[in-house]
């Protein structure tokens, strides 16, 4: 389990993270979403023990991360910008990790060779960006981590490979209860694998949600009245968003499905529809005033 409490991190005169908290339960996948410069990478590097936080606590399994060798042996961090030693082949790099991590699983490494299908004798730096990313995942998975920290892992992969990687990660989560935190600037990338989503914006965690709860909790409705829209409706409804098109009112409201229906029907609408809501829309409306900004982040 990953617990981050009120973490702040400052780079010179730039405040990268401010008072961020998050929790990732064991065996779940947490998606960290945000635009460029939102602080995702900083957050992940803090979790990987690369940066020391200025304030707050970062714990994995109730132990602080920084300079914690035992913990870091069970953690794999795959950064956005990959680094491989000059002139090293995949095999050289595998040997390097095997020498550092006691739990290196050579069988798995060999087995995964079939999935990734890249010659181990090849020098990594001569590979394409996408292939290098695959090598990083390949080596990372062979380390059999309990915690995997992935910074934009799907970036630069083709759709087939994306799916393959997602499957491999999901498989480890399911089989070994691996805990995963994964970042992306694209919410849609994470929609299908994450249990939790957190949105970072300008160094602050603006929203964190369990995806299942979220979907059940926010609804988009369309109501129309034969005459004037009763003013009491807007007054009595805590709408996240409302838009009026002629006599038709579109509302986004929080609450259970049945509550909303009964509340709306008390105003005797001519038409009452519940419309489908995408994940992006949910976030945008959840954000309220900030939502407008967020719109640009999510797409």
- On whether the CB atoms of residues 66 and 43 are closer than 8 A, the answer is no
Among 40, 74, 209, 220, indicate the residue that binds another protein (CB under 8 A). Answer: 74
Among 82, 113, 214, 250, indicate the residue that binds another protein (CB under 8 A). Answer: 82
Tell me the residue ranges of DSSP E strands in the chain: 2-11, 14-24, 29-33, 55-60, 63-64, 75-78, 147-151, 179-184, 196-201, 204-210, 218-224, 239-245, 248-254, 271-275
Taking CB under 8 A as the binding criterion, the range among 94-102, 186-194, 212-220, 282-290 that sits at the site for another protein is 94-102
Among 22, 24, 28, 146, indicate the residue that binds another protein (CB under 8 A). Answer: 146
Binding positions for another protein, 103-132, rule CB under 8 A: 103
* Those residues with Cβ within 8 angstroms of residue 71's Cβ, 6 or more apart along the chain or in another chain: 49, 60, 61, 63, 65
Taking CB under 8 A as the binding criterion, the range among 92-100, 194-202, 245-253, 254-262 that sits at the site for another protein is 92-100
Distance CA 160, CA 212 (A): 26
Among 49, 53, 198, 203, indicate the residue that binds another protein (CB under 8 A). Answer: 49
- On whether the CB atoms of residues 106 and 164 are closer than 8 A, the answer is no
In the complex, least distance from residue 244 CB atom to another protein, rounded to whole angstroms: 49
Nearer to another protein, 7 or 71 (CB): 71
Among 4, 29, 71, 161, indicate the residue that binds another protein (CB under 8 A). Answer: 71
* DSSP SS3 for 61: coil
| DSSP one-letter string for 175-214 | HH--EEEEEES-HHHHHTT-SEEEEEETTEEEEEEEHHHH
User: Using the rule CB under 8 A, is 230 a contact of another protein?
Assistant: no
Cα–Cα nearest to 121, from 87, 98, 91, 95: 91
Taking CB under 8 A as the binding criterion, the range among 44-52, 187-195, 240-248, 252-260 that sits at the site for another protein is 44-52
In the complex, least distance from residue 156 CB atom to another protein, rounded to whole angstroms: 15
Cα–Cα nearest to 4, from 46, 39, 34: 46
CA atoms within 13 A on the CB side of 205: 19
User: Using the rule CB under 8 A, is 27 a contact of another protein?
Assistant: no
User: Using the rule CB under 8 A, is 70 a contact of another protein?
Assistant: yes
Nearer to another protein, 171 or 266 (CB): 171
Residues that bind another protein (CB under 8 A): 11-12, 45, 48-52, 67, 69-75, 77, 79, 81-83, 85-86, 92, 96, 99-103, 144, 146
């Amino acid at each position: 389990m990953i617990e981050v409490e009120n973490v702040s991190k400052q780079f010179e005169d730039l405040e990268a993270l401010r008072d961020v908290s998050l929790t990732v339960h064991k065996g779940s996948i947490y998606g960290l979403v945000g635009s460029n410069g939102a602080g995702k990478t900083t957050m992940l590097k803090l979790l990987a023990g690369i940066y020391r936080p200025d304030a707050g606590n970062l714990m994995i399994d109730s132990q602080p991360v920084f300079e914690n060798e035992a913990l870091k042996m069970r953690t794999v961090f795959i950064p956005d910008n990959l680094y491989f030693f000059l002139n090293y082949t995949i095999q050289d790099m595998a040997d390097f990790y095997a020498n550092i991590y006691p739990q290196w699983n050579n069988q798995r490494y060999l087995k995964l060779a079939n999935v990734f299908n890249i010659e181990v004798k090849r020098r990594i730096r001569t590979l394409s960006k996408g292939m290098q990313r695959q090598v990083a995942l390949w080596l990372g998975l062979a380390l059999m981590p309990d915690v995997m920290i992935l910074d934009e892992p799907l970036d630069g992969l083709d759709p087939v490979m994306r799916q393959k990687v997602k499957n491999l990660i999901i498989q480890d989560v399911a089989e070994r209860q691996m805990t995963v935190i994964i970042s992306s600037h694209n919410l849609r990338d994470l929609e299908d694998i994450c249990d939790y989503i957190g949105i970072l914006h300008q160094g602050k965690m603006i929203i964190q949600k369990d995806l299942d709860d979220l979907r059940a909790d926010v609804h988009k409705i369309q109501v129309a009245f034969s005459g004037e829209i009763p003013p009491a409706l807007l007054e009595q409804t805590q709408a996240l968003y409302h838009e009026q098109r002629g006599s038709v009112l579109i509302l986004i409201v929080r609450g259970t499905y049945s509550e909303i229906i009964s509340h709306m029907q008390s105003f005797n609408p001519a038409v009452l529809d519940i419309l489908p809501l995408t994940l992006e829309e949910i976030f945008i409306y959840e954000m309220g005033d900030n939502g407008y900004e967020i719109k640009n982040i999510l797409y």
